Chains A and B, each alone.
Chain A
């Protein structure tokens, strides 16, 4: 189980292999990616910022709570900070469990909780000029 915050691109296959284990028959991955439109606003990229020490602490708490609540075997999370181009992964969550039902539910729980509790913010870099924090 681990949580990371990094500027570098996320190595998806490396993360999946880190989560794979012989006790699990299901491996579920969620990728949050940078999209072109934020509501009606066209963006060219996103900038992510974190309160890193607290964000890591919160993500590790979420991982532990998720393992306890859903009984899954492993949960790993990597979140990007810095400038991200369209289509890049901003966050990747990998969950392994004995059966698929728990893995899907746990993965959904992790991303939903990250979005409401972890101190990370995104800023739109707008195509027509300017920036806007969410």
Chain B
């Protein structure tokens, strides 16, 4: 079984990926960490990125080992800098 997730990129990572969002098909049981591997595969420029990748699922910060569900919205972004 496959699952489909929406990925949103923000700030520097949107500029690097060249898109603000995309959908990705993943294998059942995929984690955020495995999603990140797929993202680095499809956007090789991220492999050179030494900065931190902050991850959120459905608008909450999430750990790399989080198991994704069909329809999740994943956000990938650098360290925040508001204020």
Q: Which residues of A contact B (CB under 8 A)?
A: 32, 48-51, 53-55, 57, 79, 90-91, 111, 114-123, 133-134
What is the distance, in angstroms, from A39's C-beta to the closest C-beta of chain B?
13
Q: Which of B8-16, B22-30, B35-43, B64-72 is the contact stretch?
A: B8-16
What residues of A have a CB within 8 angstroms of the CB of B8 in the complex?
51
Could you give, for residues 61-83 of chain B, a 1 whenever the CB lies within 8 Å of some chain A CB and a 0 otherwise?
00000000000000101101111
Nearest residue (CB) in B for A54 is B59
Number of A-B residue pairs, CB cutoff 8 Å, is 63
- Counting chain B residues whose Cβ lies within 8 A of the other chain, the interface size class is 10 to 19
- 13 A-B pairs besides A32-B83, A119-B80, A133-B11 with CB distance below 8 A are A51-B10, A51-B56, A53-B59, A90-B82, A114-B82, A115-B82, A116-B80, A119-B10, A119-B56, A119-B77, A121-B11, A121-B77, A122-B81
What is the distance, in angstroms, from B78's C-beta to the closest C-beta of chain A?
7
Bound state CA distance, A123 and B15, in angstroms?
12
